[in-house]
Amino acid sequence: MDYLLPGIIGLIVIHISDPAAIKKVPVVKPVVWVVGGGLLTYSIVRIWLSPDKLPLPVWSVWLGWALLALSLATLVYSLFVSLPFFKTYVATGAGDRLVTTGLYALVRHPGVIWTVLLALSMVLASRSRPGLIAAPLFIALDILVVIIQDRFFFRRMFPGYDAYRRQTPMLVPNRNSLRAFVDSLKEPKAPVHNDPPG
């Protein structure tokens, strides 16, 4: 299953950005995101286009497409809109603030929730039999990497992360985090000042 290895390597490469941010190594973050994202995308396309298809009913394929649109939009929002894009993915070092509102009030790693839904929806939409192997493998690897980030990297990258860990669940929302999520949506937004990089 040669299509799995690029995806596994891609997921691992993407997360090299965390130690690079801590060590303030220049240029590494955007490079690893492009290389890792490229490998993961290549793997997903190969899995999607596999001629080995599951005999799924039409309604499940349509459900897969609907869930795919929802999970992809929410994943992009979680990772690239809720977080300050330039500081998170391009600039040298870690971002200068910890995001604890919106989806990040619900759980500390909302991207994992949407990645799980995305992987499952891709299996349904593509009907790919190899996706039955790839989806759980990619989900498990994503969760493993997030556990490593949570325990070893983020507390060194963001002041206040330990307090955030104590009040916000890692992956499964609870009553308090649901309340915090709703409350954060009600709070008025402060104007955003886009300072030039540098």
Rg of the chain on CA atoms, in Å: 18
Whether 42 is in a domain gets the answer no
Q: Which residue has the higher pLDDT, 16 or 189?
A: 16
Q: What is the mean pLDDT of the chain?
A: 90
Whether 84 is in a domain gets the answer yes
Whether 114 is in a domain gets the answer yes
Q: How far apart are CA 121 and CA 20, in angstroms?
A: 32
**At residue 49, does pLDDT exceed 90?**
yes
The predicted model gives 83-112 an average pLDDT of: 88
Whether 142 is in a domain gets the answer yes
Whether 118 is in a domain gets the answer yes
- Per-residue model confidence (pLDDT) at position 188: 63
Listed residue (89, 90, 83) closest to 108, CA to CA: 83
Q: Which domain holds residue 92?
A: 53-186
Whether 43 is in a domain gets the answer no
Q: What is the pLDDT of residues 119-177, one digit of tens each?
A: 999 999 999 999 999 999 999 999 999 999 999 999 888 889 999 999 999 999 999 99
Number of domains forming the structure of the chain: 1
Whether 112 is in a domain gets the answer yes
Whether 195 is in a domain gets the answer no
pTM of this prediction exceeds 0.75:
yes
